[in-house]
């Protein structure tokens, strides 16, 4: 009996060793992290970059780029990269894209312009430096990504809350930087909702704008609806603009689900 047990044990470990040796490990990681010093911001910044499956720097194929504000792994870079891959590879609802996640240092500082509202100033003491951050995007980030990767001319920016406020500021003041704007619950209440009254006539023709807001956020609902009405009026008064506008009211019960639902819906608008 002892010899029988010993025999079975030897056979077990033999096949265990054989199965382990026959396993081939293949990495499916398609992301990398870049770290560089920004002259505009005077600090070191980090980027998370997702590359489509099969990406080859030596290939002639060029890809659109999606720039994600709040782009750390914990903020949603991994989820949005996975969603983009699924939409592109399986659903075929959007093109394969490079995704650049901008890792935060001080999002309040970087994503807000100077407010004239004293409550804003008191509660967000580091705020008001979005001008420098937009210069960083324009003069350093976009050229860096264009030089390092195979990109085409199509660029999308995604921003939520203060990130959405920054993306809206870019839309209204530096519209040429991106052709797709995904604005999720943008904090348009900032500075007494000043951006809502800004001139929208300078937005470049055929710009795609997706705006989502939670239906249980009355402050944001009012501001976002007002800006969307202004954009629609711009289309009416300037039909040559042909702005592609999507206004999405998210009815999820949980505020945390707003981003997930909005991203699923917004990726349908990226062509």
Query: Which tens digit of pLDDT belongs to each residue from 12-36?
Result: 444 445 454 566 654 555 899 999 9
Counting the structural domains of the chain, the total is 1
- Region 86-113: mean pLDDT is 95
Give residue 47's Cα distance to chain centre.
12
- The answer as to whether 6 is a domain residue is no
For the chain, counts of helices (H) and of strands (E): 10, 8
CATH of the domain at 245: 3.40.50.1820
For tokens 């990398």, what's the residue?
32
Q: 102 near 170, Cβ under 8 Å?
A: no
- The answer as to whether 13 is a domain residue is no
Q: Predicted confidence band at 75 (pLDDT cuts at 50, 70, 90)?
A: confident
Show the CA angle centred on residue 258, arms to residues 142 and 127, nearest 5°.
Answer: 50
> Whole-angstrom Cα distance, residue 203 to residue 59?
34
- The answer as to whether 5 is a domain residue is no
What pLDDT, on a 0 to 100 scale, did the predictor assign at position 25? 53
- The answer as to whether 2 is a domain residue is no
pTM for the whole thing? 0.89
- Region 34-51: mean pLDDT is 97
- The answer as to whether 263 is a domain residue is yes
Task: Show the domain range for 201.
Answer: 28-269
Q: Counting Cβ atoms within 10 Å, is residue 126 exposed (0-12), middle (13-18) or buried (19+)? A: exposed
């Amino acid at each position: 009996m002892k010899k029988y047990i010993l025999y079975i044990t030897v056979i077990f470990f033999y096949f265990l060793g054989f199965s382990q040796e026959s396993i081939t490990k293949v990495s499916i990681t398609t992301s990398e992290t870049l770290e560089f010093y920004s002259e505009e911001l005077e600090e070191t910044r980090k980027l998370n970059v997702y590359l489509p499956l099969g990406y080859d720097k030596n290939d002639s194929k060029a890809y659109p780029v999606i720039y994600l504000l709040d782009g750390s792994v914990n903020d949603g870079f991994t989820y949005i990269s996975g969603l983009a891959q699924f939409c592109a590879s399986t659903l075929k609802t959007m093109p394969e894209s490079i995704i650049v996640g901008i890792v935060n240092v001080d999002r309040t500082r970087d994503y807000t312009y100077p407010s004239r509202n004293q409550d804003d100033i008191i509660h967000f003491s580091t705020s008001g430096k979005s001008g420098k951050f937009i210069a960083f995007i324009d003069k350093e980030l976009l050229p860096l990504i264009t030089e390092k990767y195979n990109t085409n001319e199509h660029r999308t920016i995604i921003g939520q809350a203060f990130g959405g406020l920054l993306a809206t500021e870019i839309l209204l003041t530096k519209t040429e930087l991106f052709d797709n704007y995904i604005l999720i619950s943008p904090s348009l209440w900032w500075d007494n909702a000043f951006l809502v009254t800004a001139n929208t006539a300078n937005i470049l023709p055929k710009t795609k704008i997706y705006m989502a807001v939670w239906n249980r956020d009355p402050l944001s609902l009012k501001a976002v609806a007002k800006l969307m009405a202004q954009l629609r009026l711009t289309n009416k008064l300037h039909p040559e603009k042909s702005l592609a506008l999507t206004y999405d009211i998210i009815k999820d019960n949980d505020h945390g689900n707003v981003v997930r639902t909005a991203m699923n819906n917004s990726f349908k608008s990226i062509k």
